Amino acid sequence: MDIDQASLAAWQAKLKEIGPRLTATDAHHRFIQFLQDQINELGFSSIRFPFKIKRCLQDSHHLLDEATGSPISNLGPVPYSGITDKNGVTGQLRFYHGKNDAEMKGKIAVIKVRDLMLPTFFLVGQMAHYPKQAKLTRNMRHPLVGATLAISKIQAAKASGAIGVILVWQHISTGLAKNEILPFTNAYLDIPAIWVHEQQLDKLQTISAQATTVGLTITGSYQRDVPTESFVVVVEGQQPEQQIFINSHTDGPNDLEENGAIALLTLLQAIKNHDLKFKQTLVFGFVSGHFQIPQSGLANRQATSRLLRDFEAYETKHNIAIQKVLGLTIEHLGGAEYEDDLKQNALKLKSPDDPMFIYISNAKNKTLVEQCLTEINPVGQYFLLKARKTAYFGEGQPLFQAGWPTISFIAMPLALCQLGAAETEPDINTMYDQINLILAILIASTQQLDV
């Protein structure tokens, strides 16, 4: 039993056409509406859960050496850092040394950010892999880590009186560093901040030593009460009190991050086309807010936590009591594996298949996934990881934290958080294999899992 590859390709092409869909932007609204229109055409209905956020749009950015009048090459603004008027802010540079720096007042802070290499076992706990020759590297590096750690330093510089921030990417190619929507786990920082590559470090050090000034401009807008929404599609089962929750998020900067919503749409189409009947009720959760987690998630959890709360309130209002059978999360399908070549200063293709991580919370789910991998024999490399409440990437984490037994698909390609580029183009054939695997897991789970 297969999914419809032609529809998958057409829907993925539409996602690419819409472009970057950062949280609550016009493009994000269009994508949500597109999904709901397609769902209606398939004969399903949506239950909508709107909410509002404070939205920061950064329209233009510029960094200037005011002594020479020449621009300083930059890689883009730090999302939700801050905005300026058209004149920007001007100040001398001061390299960041730590908190409570009295000499930082009125200056533009320069903060070095290293793309960290960490032992793999710090980030993931591998239980199994497929096929037999699949092998994880001993160390992992992803710009998400270093960028996230920089947030506290930006906040410390602001607290010391800085009027702007320059983040200097180190140990990373310009190919990987450009156009990153990183970090994305911060709320509005209320201080303009911009990324530069370490190639600019000598220039910044010279400007600092000469005590001349730099101009930093990031124009845009900061708006309150901007609407967005998550929504669910319910497919009633024979035992409606037993529930399988399938989720992904709808916002992202490119057509690999996030195409999980396309996978959910494809699964709904397969249910209709093959007239599939399930023992458990299926709830498909389309989640907004992954790229503004502080505003969307609850209690420092990811965005799905809000949808779980809102849907639970909806069920309580309608006298629906549920039993949690499975939480199935789908993110970042069809990507290729790249490595960051610092000597060539570019991303280089390593494999057509990026490692797919599958977080699994119990032995039953592990057995089920292994059976389906053997049955479907999909292309690519798959690593079954032990679910943990802390080191658990993606929107499957809130399900696990809320007590759902989980199976969470998430790849972590290096360019995951960049604006669209060749490196973020998913392969439709790989997506097709991966979604067929997920469909097999979904069908098997309704037959094998119970509470």
Which 8-state DSSP code applies to residue 127? E
Q: Indicate the residue among 200, 222, 244 that finishes a domain.
A: 222
Among residues 394, 125, 131, which one has the least CA distance to residue 247?
394
Is the residue at 133 inside a domain?
A: no
pLDDT at 122: 65
Q: How far apart are CA 385 and CA 127, in angstroms?
A: 5
- Strands 139-141 vs 47-65: parallel, antiparallel or unpaired: unpaired
pTM above 0.85, yes or no: yes
Q: How many CB atoms lie within 10 A of CB 22?
A: 21
Q: Do residues 233 and 39 make contact, with C-beta atoms less than 8 angstroms apart?
A: yes
Q: Are residues 217 and 278 in the same domain?
A: no
Q: How many independent structural domains does the chain possess? A: 2
Q: Are residues 211 and 303 in the same domain?
A: no
pLDDT digits (tens, 9 = 90+) for 250-281: 999 999 998 999 999 999 999 999 999 999 99
Is the residue at 376 inside a domain?
A: yes
Q: Are residues 27 and 70 in the same domain?
A: no
User: What are the DSSP E strand ranges found in 209-303?
Assistant: 213-235, 239-249, 280-287
Beta carbons within 8 Å of 319's beta carbon, 6+ residues apart: none
Angle at 390 between CA 326 and CA 280, to 5 degrees: 5
pLDDT at 448: 72
Q: Are residues 210 and 247 in the same domain?
A: no
Is the residue at 163 inside a domain?
A: yes
pLDDT at 447: 80
The tokens of 385 are what? 């990881």
Q: Are residues 216 and 231 in the same domain?
A: no
* CATH number assigned to the domain comprising residue 268: 3.40.630.10
Q: Are residues 37 and 154 in the same domain?
A: no
pLDDT digits (tens, 9 = 90+) for 49-74: 999 999 999 999 999 999 999 999 99
* CATH number assigned to the domain comprising residue 107: 3.50.30.30
Q: Indicate the residue among 222, 237, 260 that finishes a domain.
A: 222
Mean pLDDT by 10 residues, the chain (451 residues): 94 97 98 99 98 98 97 98 98 97 98 89 80 85 95 98 99 96 96 99 98 98 98 95 97 95 98 95 98 95 97 94 96 97 95 96 96 95 90 93 97 95 96 98 85 55
Q: How many CB atoms lie within 10 A of CB 105?
A: 12
Which 8-state DSSP code applies to residue 38? H
Q: Do residues 406 and 327 make contact, with C-beta atoms less than 8 angstroms apart?
A: yes
Residue type, 182: L
Q: Are residues 251 and 378 in the same domain?
A: yes
| Residue 292, burial from CB neighbour count under 10 angstroms (0-12, 13-18, 19+) | buried
Give kind and range of the element (H or E) at residue 64: strand 47-65
Q: Are residues 208 and 249 in the same domain?
A: no
- Strands 382-386 vs 356-360: parallel, antiparallel or unpaired: parallel
Is the residue at 48 inside a domain?
A: yes
pLDDT digits (tens, 9 = 90+) for 177-211: 999 999 999 999 999 999 999 999 999 999 999 99
Q: Are residues 111 and 19 in the same domain?
A: no
Q: Indicate the residue among 188, 207, 222 that finishes a domain.
A: 222
Q: Are residues 176 and 217 in the same domain?
A: yes
Q: Do residues 306 and 401 make contact, with C-beta atoms less than 8 angstroms apart?
A: no
Q: How far apart are CA 441 and CA 376, in angstroms?
A: 10
Domain span at 203: 56-125+138-222
The tokens of 172 are what? 């990373």
| Residue 302, burial from CB neighbour count under 10 angstroms (0-12, 13-18, 19+) | buried
Q: How far apart are CA 236 and CA 45, in angstroms?
A: 12
Residue type, 61: H
Is the residue at 130 inside a domain?
A: no
Among residues 408, 410, 406, which one has the least CA distance to residue 362?
406
pLDDT at 451: 55
Is the residue at 14 inside a domain?
A: yes
Q: Are residues 338 and 426 in the same domain?
A: yes
The torsion region of residue 76 among left (phi > 0), alpha (psi -120 to 50) and beta comes to: left
Q: Are residues 346 and 432 in the same domain?
A: yes
Is the residue at 132 inside a domain?
A: no
Is the residue at 131 inside a domain?
A: no
